[in-house]
Amino acid sequence: MVRNILIALTLLLLAGVAQAQSPVTPASPIWESTLAEVRQLDVADYEVGFTLSPGKFHLLSDRLLQLGKLGDFQRLLTDQSPMVRVMGLICLARIMKAADFQPVAVRVAEDHAHIRYQEGCISKVSTVEEIARQLVEGKFFLAERRKP
């Protein structure tokens, strides 16, 4: 009986260690539904109009930042959707120091997928690669919100 309990405890412990080492964590339904909303967006509307009000993309990034961690946002950079990849870049840029963000941005250096984004009253088209470069240079529209 004691032997069976020890075996069961050992198996539970090993399962916990394996789960902790796993690079993929189970995503919450809220995380997945938020990403589904991001995938349906036609434009990354971060700040909209003359008053620079938060757009849908901005609000979704705020939600993801509350739910995710660094590794979650890094995994977004490999998503099939360019909008999700940009979301990953935006979230990473908001939580990382500028010097730490630059090597991450290099991971999308050859990403030529196009997305539309809204900057104030102006709608623009850019590549994921170009948005990453602008984030590194502090020239993208959320640069003032980055960690020093």
Given a cut of 90, whether residue 138 has pLDDT beyond it is no
The kind and range of the H/E element at 115 are strand 114-120
* 30 pLDDT tier (thresholds 50, 70, 90): very high
- Report the share of the chain in percent with pLDDT over 70: 76
Cα 83 from chain centroid (whole Å): 10
Residue 120, C-beta contacts closer than 8 angstroms, at least 6 positions apart: 47, 48, 49, 50, 52, 141
Q: What is the pLDDT of residues 62-73, one digit of tens each?
A: 999 999 999 999
Amino acid at the residue 50: F
User: Domain map of the chain by residue range?
Assistant: 29-145
Q: Is the pLDDT of residue 15 over 50?
A: no
| pLDDT band per the 50, 70, 90 thresholds, residue 20 | very low
Measuring CA to CA, which residue among 134, 60, 45, 35 is closest to residue 93?
134
Average pLDDT over residues 37-53: 84
Pairing state of beta strands 122-127 and 53-54?
unpaired
**Whether the model pTM is above 0.85:** no
Report the residue count for the chain: 148
32 or 12, greater pLDDT: 32
- Please give the pLDDT value at position 142: 58
82-109 pLDDT, tens digit per residue, is: 999 999 999 999 999 888 999 999 999 8
Non-local (6+) Cβ contacts of 105 within 8 A are 89, 132, 133, 135, 136
Contacts of 39 (CB under 8 A, 6+ apart): 81, 83, 84
